[in-house]
Chain A
Amino acid sequence: MPALELRGIDKRFGAVHANRGVSFSAARGSVHGIIGENGAGKSTLMNIVYGLHRADAGEIRVQGRTVAISSPQDAIAAGIGMVHQHFMLVENFTVLENIVLGAEGGRRLAEGLGAARAGLEQLARDYGLEVPLDAIVSELPVGLQQRVEILKALYRGADILILDEPTAVLTPQEADQLFKMLERLRAQGKTVLLVTHKLREIMAVTDRVTVMRQGAIVGEVATCDTSPRELAEKMVGRAVLLNVERGPARPGATLLTVRDLEVRDRLGVARVKGVSFTLQAGEIVGIAGVAGNGQSELLETLAGIRAPSRGEIELGGRHLVREGLDARARRRLGLAHVPEDRLRMGVVAGYSAQDNAILGYHDLPAYQRGLLLDRAAVLAGCEKKMSAYDVRPPNPALRIGSFSGGNQQKLVLAREIDSDPRVLLIGQPTRGVDIGAIEFIHRQLVALRDAGKALLLVSVELEEILGLADRILVMSAGEIVGEIASADATEKKVGLMMAGVKGEGHA
């Protein structure tokens, strides 16, 4: 009898069909992987199992019994626990308070907390999940916070544990520790559902794997009977082009020089630590790294969104830091930027496509008529960009939110390239972008390189970096730990460097 069985789970969000009649089962005492691209419907499915969303149709069976799950309370009662990608912790509470929240054992706290402490110490020993119970959560490292989440689920008696993209914020080493922990849970008879879009994790730890694409299940296999390539093909629905067709780079003059750059966050913690590199015309330099290792901060600092605490950025003979040039001034010097998080930063959701097509360029003389904005010029500019980049539907008056992720990204790219920049900073160019648009965007980037632009590419998708970059800089814990020419780069080599093993410095 499977520990968890789903039958015909169906869910729509307005026009989006997030889950299409999903059925699968996970065996007791196994680690079951669910893999799919971003937006394949994995998280929706798991949120339905945990009672955060309600399925429009379908049945959930736990240990052979049909259960009605309409809230996390029901899920917990059915023995289901979930560790979310973004931790569900009250940051100014202690570990102990976080764990007992919702399972306090009585109206008065004191007794419940005492009893919980004893129980938790036992639980922690059993699974090797030691955490300081009286520490404030916000002061713990991410890996420990994740342990708190796992303990929270186990403390509530979870037999089925869902982990949603658990390694997104972990280094490969921390991830390996997590996998060991999962094996221990499996040995104790727990069922683990591991939701991820990373093939490495599936291969490393799961017993069986279910592949999702566009809301539906497209395959299920025993992990030992499959290969990463086969899984990848199932995920995207055809053979993946891991290598973008491109000729060798012909690097020219140095356009951007970064010297000893240090960036601190609001709490004063250094996120980028003394980074130096150069960027030449006609090359794509990729920055690889596990998410959260300073790439985002580096990119934003170069773009003028964050201020560095030390160091200098030189662009065409100008000292951007010393001269105090902001994002607007840098754009005018030919530094364009496609941000990592398009919806948070790259577009204004309430604006039409044409208004989004001038974001950051709204004060260019071309768009002014006296004191007023030249609406006709704005419209014409947007139409031009839409046709050049094949944005569909080509309707400038449509709100940007009505476009697919790929078309939004094409418009953002068009906007940034339209000003004929010398250097293009580009973060996660294909996040939330459909396959067809990915190819188009990749081709555009290579074309830009061949036109003599300098591109700095930040991506957490190692395959994307390997496929596009001419040189790869690897970041770990805020430092550039190695540089490798694309010809010499393999996934394994770069992966080792990402884990913080210093590279030998091919220049």
Chain B
Amino acid sequence: METYTLIVLLLAATIRVATPLLLAALAGMFSERSGVIALGLEGMMLGAAFASAAVAAVSGSAWLGLGAGIVAAMALALLLAFACVTQRGNQVIAGMAINLMVAGLGPALALAWFDLGGQTPQLEAAGQRFLSLRWPWAEAARAHPAPGLLYAELISGHNFLVYFAAALVPISAWVLYRTRFGLRLRAVGENPAAVDTAGVAVNRLRYQAVLISGALCGVAGTYLSTAASSGFVRDMTAGKGYLALAALIFGKWKPWPTCGACLLFAFTDALATRLQGVALPLVGVIPVQFILALPYVLTVLLLAGFVGTAVAPRAIGVPYLKEK
């Protein structure tokens, strides 16, 4: 039973770590499926983390914080789209620039506004954060270990944003494969000229996709600063935007496999925390850094074609030029 509890707790931690990854990876999916490289996930997420924590701290409302996070990330997305779509700039550079800019802007503004050394105030009052929701009978169920604990820890006991992220997977799949917008989105990332000559505006579609990506990053960033922790701190995304990109590639730009990749990567993270300093039978202590680096190594192996193949949307990274 001890092992069972351990596993359930590990899985529950996995879900918590996976949530921002999943939100960001799906954000990246919309962007990359439209043909715009999603290197700005990190920056959009970080910007949202700052904006939501700042607004939640000042207004006292986590929901207003969420709104601010989404608005901030969408504003950055708009800038990204302007650079990549309208100006046809280099998409890698635009993404890197946004990441760098926000990495500085968040702490700089935090210092100027809150004077706490580059952080936002601790979110302590009720309503400033997204707290775990207790589902009916969760506490009672805890007493019945096998299904009860599973229910209490895995199904119940997460905050709203976790459930939102989970629901987003089928929703994204539905949008991508069952709607007009999804058809056009998939087409524009493969062959924008075909979309254009079919009478659909390419740039408008790409703007929509990048803005959706911004909105989802907004939720991801809000999760980091107002749900997973209580306030914004410097560099709090810590590479999650890039990890999400890796998960997207690992999931071959498809919603369900991407979700699977996010869970896998989150699991390695939860496992690393759990295994810190623990000697395992046969292998001994596995350095936590190696477990944390595993997702990156796996993604490189995938890109190298050693474990399956990843075929990117064909038109990715290429600005659409109407007049040739």
Asked if A pairs with B, the answer is: yes
A contacts, CB < 8 Å to B: 13, 50, 52-53, 71-73, 75-76, 82, 84, 88-93, 97-98, 100-104, 106-110, 112, 152, 156
Contacts of B186 in A (CB 8 A): 90, 93
Neighbouring B residues of A93 by C-beta, 8 Å: 186-187, 190
Which of B183, B195, B314 is most buried by chain A, counting CB atoms within 10 A of its CB?
A: B183
Taken together as a complex, chains A and B put the C-alpha atoms of A75 and B322 apart, in Å, by 15
A53 to B, closest residue via Cβ: B323
Interface of A is mostly: loop
Q: What would be 19 A-B contacts, judged by CB atoms less than 8 Å apart? A: A53-B322, A71-B201, A72-B197, A73-B200, A82-B197, A84-B197, A88-B193, A90-B187, A90-B191, A91-B190, A97-B187, A98-B194, A107-B181, A108-B178, A108-B179, A108-B180, A109-B178, A109-B180, A110-B178
> Is there an interface contact between A97 and B183, defined as CB atoms closer than 8 Å?
yes
Distance, CA A10 to CA B197, complexed state (A): 22
Complex Cα gap A88–B182 (Å): 18
Q: Does B196 contact A (CB under 8 A)?
A: yes
Which residues of B are in contact with A by a Cβ distance under 8 Å?
A: 177-184, 186-187, 190-191, 193-201, 314, 322-323
Docked pose: A89 CA to B193 CA in angstroms:
8
Residues of A with C-beta under 8 A to B194:
88-90, 98, 101
Question: Does A52 contact B179, Cβ atoms closer than 8 Å?
Answer: no
Chain B min CB distance to A116 (Å): 12
Query: Can you add 8 more A-B contacts, CB < 8 Å, to A50-B197, A72-B198?
Result: A13-B323, A72-B196, A93-B186, A101-B194, A104-B180, A106-B180, A107-B181, A156-B199
Docked CA distance A97–B198 (Å)? 12
Quick one: which of B183, B191, B198 contacts A109, CB cutoff 8 A?
B183
- Chain B interface main SS type: helix
* Residues on B with beta carbons closer than 8 Å to the beta carbon of A92: 190
Inter-subunit contact A109/B197 (CB<8 Å): no
Q: Report Cα–Cα, A171/B314, bound state, in Å.
A: 29
A335 to chain B, nearest CB (A): 34
Chain B residues contacting A98 (CB-CB under 8 Å) are 194
The answer to whether A101 touches B195, judged by C-beta atoms less than 8 angstroms apart, is yes
Q: CA–CA, A89 to B179, complex, Å?
A: 19
Judging by beta carbons under 8 Å apart, are B183 and A71 in contact?
no
Q: In the complex the two chains form, is B179's CB within 8 Å of A72's CB? A: no
Do A109 and B179 touch (CB < 8 A)?
yes
| Inter-chain contacts of A13 with B (CB < 8 A) | 323
Q: In the assembled complex, which residues on chain B have CB atoms less than 8 Å from the CB atom of A156? A: 199
Contact (Cβ within 8 A) A112 B191: no
Interface-central residue, B181, B193, B197, B200, by most chain A CB under 10 Å: B197
- With A89-B194, A90-B190, A90-B191: A103-B199 Cβ-Cβ less than 8 Å: yes
Shortest Cβ gap from A345 to chain B (Å)? 18
